[in-house]
Structure 1
């Protein structure tokens, strides 16, 4: 029987690439979506037509009952997961001085509490004597956790907390589960960013070139298949986390573009 993986936010962008990487490596993929039913189904149909295994599953990750229902559905149909990739994120701008508590709570629910909850539900579903190192949880983070600036305040706080949980969960859930993080750099247009801004911002790193999203997805698969790695976060960002900036790179580049006009 193929190993199984649940990828949250699997219908679009990086999530879809992660689904493809795992499926093409022979894993049975569960592609989670909240509202993108048609896109998720199309991705799974495409993978199945290529001879791989993929099914879509819906849940609002901010709702504990729906998280529980989703995990119960997966376990009842395919048994306990071998890997959980917490990729889904809420990424909305805010600041420390003008904090909207309701909006901040939404980001904390999706970016922090949902991954922790799904991790716990996965652990509870495992057999008592699961082989050490065979199953894993991977949290998709952000290079911002190593390269602080105050923009996107609630998002950053949620990812910082999730990054700190990597080691704590690795300790708490061993030996049945390994826990790792992947921290990408800028790989897609985000928020109000223009293409011109992205083209310049994605090269603000030590390698002075864009980070390929496919390499981020491949890193998730690598961590899932290496039984000796746990409790660490891998930065996949061409060294962006080693280039400190006073603000988010998008805003720094925007100021430079305006100055050049």
Structure 2
């Protein structure tokens, strides 16, 4: 990975598959140096890095397990030591949703989701700020939230929805405290996306969801990645969080 101060580098969580992998491909092909973060998908991340490097793109796989704060800190320290051009962080990684009635979920379901979405992303964001963004005078964060948060809130996804709402609260706090120092944040809220996360849902539930989509297909991960990349390539001039439209992958709206 080149360490050119005039270059731009991006760290992506969940970069081994789904939306994260799609973003790594799109960003690398537009000149970004990409750090492909993974939790359990080390082989997939390595193959993606090989694919992009074969195309003369700059990519490297890095373990970013969101439930292991110490390993996150160590990883960011290594990245900062090797690459002074990190200017953006994409929060695409998340555990698959626990699809069950609120009354059947357990505290462990909520704990697992919260540890990754809130605690893990808190550690990652603050470490990247201290080691990468602050020395540059600022940086960008883009994050994948969820249409399941509502309104209306999607039923039978309580632990996942609570974690995404927690992540949104974390981002609001980061913007309030670090916005004046140069942190810029954009979010998107996709609905169903054609990724391996759909395996968490029962087939009949997905069939009903597809039938209720009024003839519209589920989103492709490339569509969400295109919206995220547009946000990275067009950072907001304000400190307020902006929302990235998925209608055309290009519209920026102020988050309410």
Please, what TM-score do these two structures have when normalized by structure 2?
A: 0.82
Residue 66 of structure 2 aligns to a residue whose secondary structure is coil
Q: Quote the Cα distance in structure 1 between the aligned partners of 2:66 and 2:137.
A: 29
Name stretches of at least 5 consecutive residues in structure 1 with no aligned partner: 239-261
Q: 1:223 is matched with which residue: 213, 225, 231? A: 231
Q: Is the 8 A contact 1:166 1:181 kept in 2?
A: no
2:98 is matched with: 92
Q: Is the 8 A contact 1:94 1:154 kept in 2?
A: no
Q: Deviations over 1:106-157 (max 9, x none)?
A: 110112221122111111114656346xx20111111112331331111110
Aligned residues: 235
Please, what TM-score do these two structures have when normalized by structure 1?
A: 0.81
Q: Quote the Cα distance in structure 1 between the aligned partners of 2:242 and 2:199.
A: 26
1:191 is matched with: 200
Structure 1 residues 128 and 17: CA distance shift in structure 2, 3 A: closer
Q: Quote the Cα distance in structure 2 between the aligned partners of 1:192 and 1:82.
A: 36
Name stretches of at least 5 consecutive residues in structure 2 with no aligned partner: 249-256
Residue 179 of structure 1 aligns to a residue whose secondary structure is strand
Q: Which has the larger radius of gyration?
A: 1
Structure 1 residues 18 and 4: CA distance shift in structure 2, 3 A: same
| Pairing 1:177–2:183 present | yes
Residue 200 of structure 2 aligns to a residue whose secondary structure is coil
Q: Quote the Cα distance in structure 2 between the aligned partners of 1:24 and 1:53.
A: 9
1:28 is matched with: 33
Q: Deviations over 1:40-98 (max 9, x none)?
A: 11100000011100000113211110110111111011126211111111122344323
RMSD: 2.4
Q: Quote the Cα distance in structure 1 between the aligned partners of 2:67 and 2:247.
A: 28
Q: Deviations over 1:168-193 (max 9, x none)?
A: 32221113210121111111234144
Q: Quote the Cα distance in structure 2 between the aligned partners of 1:218 and 1:24.
A: 12
